[in-house]
Amino acid sequence: MVSWEEQQSLLRCCGEEDSSTQSLRRRHFARAVKATKDVVVDLSELSFADPSLIFDLAILAQRLRAGGRRLLLHKPQPHIERLIEMVGLNRQPGVQLAV
């Protein structure tokens, strides 16, 4: 489940995220792209993610970067951090991984 907190410019990802939940998270990502400051993605409660989430985060980072903002990935579980690194999201310009 993904939620957006506009005041804090925070995307919170919890539980399991895969291609079957992709349509549910898109509206939150659409709101996040309009943020006026860097977007923090809280991954601390994310227990499972497939590459569809990582792809959506990469697209979000690209759109934020075009507006001079960054995507800050906060506290991923070790297996989620490995997925982020394996796919290379952490090497994308404008993305910062904070463990």
pLDDT in tens, 5-40: 999 999 999 999 999 999 999 999 999 999 999 999
Chain position carrying tokens 């569809």: 52
| Tally of structural domains, the chain | 1
Chain position carrying tokens 């090497």: 91
Burial class (CB in 10 A: 0-12, 13-18, 19+), 66: exposed
Distance CA 10, CA 43 (A): 11
Output the domain CATH number for residue 88: 3.30.750.24
Instruction: Give the predicted TM-score (pTM) of the model.
Output: 0.93
Which pair of structure tokens corresponds to residue 81?
């951090």
The boundaries of the domain holding residue 31 are: 2-98
Residues 58-68 have pLDDT tens digits of: 999 999 999 99
